[in-house]
Structure 1
Amino acid sequence: HLWLDEAMEAPNPASILRNSAVVACGAFVLIKLQPLLALSPVTDGVLVVIGTITALGGSLVALAQIDLKRTFSYSTSAYLGLVFMAVGMQQPDLALELLLMHGLAKALLFMGVGSLIYTTSTQDLTELGGLRSRMPATVAAFAVGSLGMVALLPLGCFWTLARLALVYGVLQPALVGVLLWVNGLTALNLARVFGLVFLGSPQPKTRRAPEVGWLMALPMGILTVQTLLMPWLLGRWGLYPDWNPQLRWMAALLTAAGLVGAAIGGWLYWGDQRRVYLPWPELQDLLAHDFYTGHLYQALVVQPVSALSRRLEWLDRNGVDGLVNGVSLAFFFSGEALKYTLSGRMQLYVLVIVMGVVLVTAWLLRSPHLGLAY
């Protein structure tokens, strides 16, 4: 989550692939490795903890973003946290199903975002509004993608989240609360974005915004139909459980959480008074800066590593390089001095050798520890 929101500066087709497929590849690798990961309870526990923190934190941070693409990128982080939780709870089939359903809905949402950026030349929520009657195809795609993200019967994420809730209710009931939290906050965020973009009075950049052409509307229509039909196909293939009392209870909880989140979002952002930011400035700053994770990263990792690197660079330049240069200079000057002893005359070489032998022998004879001194 430290890089995904920054990557939203890329063109929108890259954003669609990144949020729907690329960042899901890491989770897909975990799903494929799940039989190996299941051999270590510690690994499963770490996955559950990481997934829980990511799901809760990503859902909250998304509420304070004013960049449309960043808002959905943090939502992607939250849902990938749910996938990590499912892998850690040894539910790879449900994790893979959640990746599929989330990928379809999020791709459809980003297609709608691309239409908005194409016609308005902005992705800033403070500059959008009043587009409901001007872009009906985009509104329909945006609405279906939003509904496909939350636990709403009969769309895909409903069945996946409900089945996860059934499993968590038996194995780890606290994780059911995480699912309810993420579902409620996702509904709140989607209601917030829908209200700021399509409702209210038009803004300067949206007063004359037209609907996109058929080259952009047709792919949105195809993906809209696919998002609506995919749960029906999975049901026909026998992947969904029977409608038992436990499933009804979990469905009621998820639906209630989603309705509460949507109601709060409608109350805050669908009124006559346009409110882009959260009502509490301190909370807005905390969430907008991602719990100051980037600041902590700079203070605890980047700056200490940078300071250590500067000191090591000084040591390398003045210590290691100085030693190497000193050795090289010593060899250079010693070679320069010794070259004057090379005259090419054999008699002089023999004389030097004899004198050396005499001097060494005299020193050995006068050394007390050798017992040879007179």
Structure 2
Amino acid sequence: MLFLAAEPSAASTPTIDQAVLWAIMACPLVAWGLIALYLRKLPAIAGYTAILGIGAAMVLSYVTLFNVIDAGGGVAQYTHQWFTAGDLSVPIGVRVDGLTAVMLVVVTTVAFLVQVYSTGYMQGDHGYGRYFAHMCLFTTSMLGLVLADNLFQMFVFWELVGLCSYLLIGFWFHKPSAAAAAKKAFIVTRIGDLGLLAALLLIWTRAGTFDVTAIQEWAASGEVKSTIVTLFALGLFAGAAGKSAQFPLHVWLPDAMEGPTPVSALIHAATMVAAGVYLVARFFPVFEASADAANVVAWIGAITAILAATIALVQTDLKRVLAYSTVSQLGYMMLSLGALGYVAAIFHLFTHAFFKALLFLGSGSVNHATNTFDMRKMGGLRKHMPVTYWTFVIGSLSLAGIFPLAGFWSKDEILLDAWRHDRALWAIGAVVAFMTAFYMFRAIFLTFHGTYKGGEPVDHHDPDNHFHGDPAHPHESPWSMKGPLIVLAVPSIAAGWFAYDHMFKDFIEAALPHAGHHGSTFELGIAISSTIIALAGIGTAYAIYIRRWVDSASIRATFAPFALVFERKYFLDDLYEGLFVRNIFYRGWCRLLETIDRRVVDGIVNGTGQLGRAASSRLRAVQVGEVQSYGLGVAAGVIVIFIAVIVANPL
């Protein structure tokens, strides 16, 4: 049976009713069903339905969070039998602890604000109803991933998240660039998912369970060969590297900016790309038990962070600056997890979700006024868009790690963990902190300061155009878009204050007893040094783009080889295009597989169907409707059976 009676685990502390946890997933799922079946052609109602469904899930998520806080942490788990096949028994259930509660609040809060924002940003779009349906399905998938109590169930929702990402990145599928970006994201993330599938098979053959708690205890027991634990951990990390855009699978995320800006704010800043970080954190005891796997995570994270930061330095598209910033910050989180900074990584995931969603929505507000993301066509928007400007500055200061904003606290914890684990990791983190402050304020100065350059002219003959403003006279966005910016600015300022008196540390560590002693403490030396580094980055951007003490063109000319490498994204896209798209041998191999699939596989399947159809057309002639003919057939059959029995058993 699908649902059987279940009781919370004996070790559970929270007393939240499992009906509430299932309802968190059900609310956006019901909204998706209503929109997909009945409301797609009623845009306004579709939007309000999505807001209502996700809003209800948000309220229940906060109820869950406060329940876990009141209980002092701990784990509550409700498991039911899903299906059994031989020795394979797969459960379905929900699990809530501090980590789950934090992720639920992050996902639903950002999703709710993005839906409100979308009612203004997507107004007039031909796919308005379809857009909200996809967003509801994505939110359901992400919530299912967060609540899953076993790896098999987690994998199912993991793939649904990937499907929704494909649908939303390619939302404007009539644009070749959007269709190509959707395919690229789907294919690249599938490469990582193969590693996760391998980990799924490995854990079943070695541990005989998919349960999260059981796997954590299995890894922490010390009774398993270190090679097996390492292989399992690397399989998990492969899946995480795909979803969280870690080197060398990071190439899909910047192209994913082809989707609508609210999609970027939700999926590619706050939720889906954080799924990989969540996966590694959920199975943190596995990486803690394998030093080799932890080091791989730390160094891949460090490489990703600095690689993406250097590329962001030379971007001229505001949204792509934020995209590479996201890749870099995800690398920061992975670096922290590899350095066994479990609490710091989750804390940065928590704070980053708010200020990065704010920045993406701010870029959408700018686009709404100028019809472009090209910073070279902007400038001077500060006086035209004061709300967008100041909220964007708040998000950038938080991302740069300036006291006392949220990013200051979480970034410093990561740098402190890196300092204690490996000074080389700390050095990379410090360099990335300087670059982050520099490229974010470069974006601010190019976009909001100076003189306005006119934006992008509107093609009113384009049937898919839904831009209603006048780029020559930019103006502030409507309240449906300004409101979420103001709301998100609050946690971008204050979310870091949960670090006070170890509040966040104690809450998160209670979710994972094996993670004890992996929460950072505040150290003044790290805080001062990181603040000086961030201020140096801001000051450098100010000197170049406001005071113009040094000309940016001359800097580029001086460092032309590096600038070329950064602008060409380290030639990785060119390498992948050459190896997997244009390579004659690879294309020939793909053509061979396509031929086998079409001629052999499809031939057998279609041939079987054609054979059955031909046989039935011949046998159809036997059905003549004459009783005498049927009687003759029955008699003939009896005689044939009698003869067969005699032959088989002679007297």
Q: Shorter-chain TM-score: which interval? A: 0.7 to 0.9
Deviation at 1:82, TM superposition (A): 0.8
Counterpart Cα distance in 2 of 1:209 and 1:236: 45
Counterpart Cα distance in 2 of 1:312 and 1:173: 46
Written as runs of structure 1 = structure 2, the 5 A alignment for 1:1-374 is 1-17=250-266, 18-205=268-455, 207-235=472-500, 238-239=503-504, 247-271=523-547, 279-280=556-557, 281-304=560-583, 306-310=584-588, 313=591
Deviation at 1:256, TM superposition (A): 1.3
Counterpart Cα distance in 1 of 2:413 and 2:427: 14
AA aligned opposite 1:291: Y
AA aligned opposite 1:2: V
Counterpart Cα distance in 1 of 2:493 and 2:321: 23
Deviates more, 1:179-188 or 1:276-285: 276-285
Instruction: Tell me what 1:360 maps to.
Output: none
Deviation at 1:283, TM superposition (A): 2.8
Counterpart Cα distance in 2 of 1:95 and 1:315: 42
Instruction: Tell me what 2:41 maps to.
Output: none
TM-score by length of structure 2 reads: 0.46
Structure 2 CA distance for partners of 1:156 and 1:223, relative to 1, 3 Å: same
Counterpart Cα distance in 2 of 1:144 and 1:123: 20
AA aligned opposite 1:166: L
Conservation of the 8 A alpha-carbon contact between 2:400 and 2:407: yes
AA aligned opposite 2:398: G
Higher relative contact order (CA 8 A, sep 6+): 1
SS of the counterpart of 1:6? helix
Structure 2 CA distance for partners of 1:198 and 1:39, relative to 1, 3 Å: same
Deviation at 1:8, TM superposition (A): 0.2
Structure 2 CA distance for partners of 1:278 and 1:78, relative to 1, 3 Å: farther
Provide Cα deviations, 1:334-355, integer angstroms capped at 9, x if missing partner. xxxxxxxxxxxxxxxxxxxxxx
SS of the counterpart of 1:279? helix
Provide Cα deviations, 1:216-275, integer angstroms capped at 9, x if missing partner. 11111111122222123442663479xx99811111210111111111111222246985
SS of the counterpart of 2:556? coil
Counterpart Cα distance in 2 of 1:238 and 1:156: 14
Deviates more, 1:247-256 or 1:70-79: 247-256
AA aligned opposite 1:263: G
Conservation of the 8 A alpha-carbon contact between 2:261 and 2:364: yes
Counterpart Cα distance in 1 of 2:480 and 2:344: 34
Conservation of the 8 A alpha-carbon contact between 1:138 and 1:217: yes
Q: How many residues were matched structurally?
A: 318
AA aligned opposite 1:307: F
Counterpart Cα distance in 2 of 1:287 and 1:15: 22
Conservation of the 8 A alpha-carbon contact between 2:354 and 2:488: yes
Conservation of the 8 A alpha-carbon contact between 2:579 and 2:586: no
Unpaired runs of 5+ residues, structure 2, are 1-249, 456-470, 507-519, 601-651
AA aligned opposite 2:478: G
Deviation at 1:108, TM superposition (A): 0.7
Conservation of the 8 A alpha-carbon contact between 1:125 and 1:276: no
Structure 2 CA distance for partners of 1:152 and 1:24, relative to 1, 3 Å: same
Provide Cα deviations, 1:173-204, integer angstroms capped at 9, x if missing partner. 22211221111000000110001001111112
Structure 2 CA distance for partners of 1:4 and 1:245, relative to 1, 3 Å: closer
Deviation at 1:282, TM superposition (A): 3.3
Alignment RMSD: 2.8
Deviation at 1:314, TM superposition (A): 6.2
Counterpart Cα distance in 1 of 2:534 and 2:279: 30
Deviation at 1:5, TM superposition (A): 0.7
Counterpart Cα distance in 1 of 2:594 and 2:428: 51
Conservation of the 8 A alpha-carbon contact between 1:64 and 1:278: no
Deviation at 1:308, TM superposition (A): 3.9
Structure 2 CA distance for partners of 1:219 and 1:312, relative to 1, 3 Å: closer
Conservation of the 8 A alpha-carbon contact between 1:161 and 1:179: no
TM-score by length of structure 1 reads: 0.78
SS of the counterpart of 2:253? coil
Structure 2 CA distance for partners of 1:251 and 1:6, relative to 1, 3 Å: same
Q: Rg larger in 1 or in 2?
A: 1
AA aligned opposite 2:430: L
AA aligned opposite 1:253: S
AA aligned opposite 1:42: D
Structure 2 CA distance for partners of 1:315 and 1:265, relative to 1, 3 Å: closer
Deviation at 1:112, TM superposition (A): 0.8
SS of the counterpart of 1:4? helix
Counterpart Cα distance in 2 of 1:109 and 1:87: 25
Deviation at 1:279, TM superposition (A): 2.1
AA aligned opposite 2:476: E
Counterpart Cα distance in 2 of 1:184 and 1:136: 27
AA aligned opposite 1:248: L
Conservation of the 8 A alpha-carbon contact between 1:112 and 1:142: yes
Deviation at 1:29, TM superposition (A): 0.7
Conservation of the 8 A alpha-carbon contact between 2:332 and 2:414: no
Structure 2 CA distance for partners of 1:65 and 1:240, relative to 1, 3 Å: same
